[in-house]
Amino acid sequence: MSADRIAQITLDESTVLRRKPEIEREREVALRDLAADARFAPLRSAERGHEGPWSLRLAVEEGRLTLAVRDKDGNEAESLGLGLARLRRDVRDYFAICESYYNAMRKASAKEIETLDMARRAIHDRGTRALLDALEGKVETDFATARRLFTLICVLHIKA
């Protein structure tokens, strides 16, 4: 296995009150998929001699996403702070389309559900590309990993 992967990931859930079961499932799938297959190489940490696999702690603090990175030995490697302004629209749009999608699952036709699912995926992909842009020069990663991280960023925004 590559050292440029995520061995463990945790979310700061101190401000989370509750989540819908659908959101909880998305969180669980993203965490499981990241543990199974993720490409993640923090560039500054590697330059300083730290090696993966990496442990991450994601938190949203004062409008910024914080990625606390630890190396394979559990030593603090770095803390990345990303402004969330560039992701805010995508997170808001993703919440809205997910709500419509989950409601449709209960009562809509297959065609309506398919249309909403396509829109949901498109918004998710747009947010993933924005996250990849934000990580440029800081972390080498692939689209699939960034997509799962975007899911977790959205989950962190849920306060109730």
**Is 57 part of a structural domain of the chain?**
yes
Q: Model confidence over 74-124: pLDDT tens digits?
A: 999 999 999 888 888 998 898 888 888 888 888 888 998 899 889 999 999
**Is 46 part of a structural domain of the chain?**
yes
**Is 93 part of a structural domain of the chain?**
yes
User: In terms of residue numbers, what domain contains 40?
Assistant: 6-156
Instruction: Return the H-helix or E-strand segment holding 80.
Output: strand 76-83
**Is 135 part of a structural domain of the chain?**
yes
Cβ contact 82:135 at 8 Å: yes
**The total number of structural domains that make up the chain:** 1
DSSP letters for 107-160:
HS-HHHHHHHHHHHHHHHHHHHHHHHHHHTTTEEE-HHHHHHHHHHHHHHT---
Cβ contact 45:141 at 8 Å: no
**Is 1 part of a structural domain of the chain?**
no
Q: Model confidence over 43-83: pLDDT tens digits?
A: 999 999 999 999 999 998 887 889 999 999 999 999 999 98
**Is 40 part of a structural domain of the chain?**
yes
Say if residue 1's pLDDT is above 80. no
**Is 79 part of a structural domain of the chain?**
yes
**Is 48 part of a structural domain of the chain?**
yes
The number of residues in the chain equals: 160
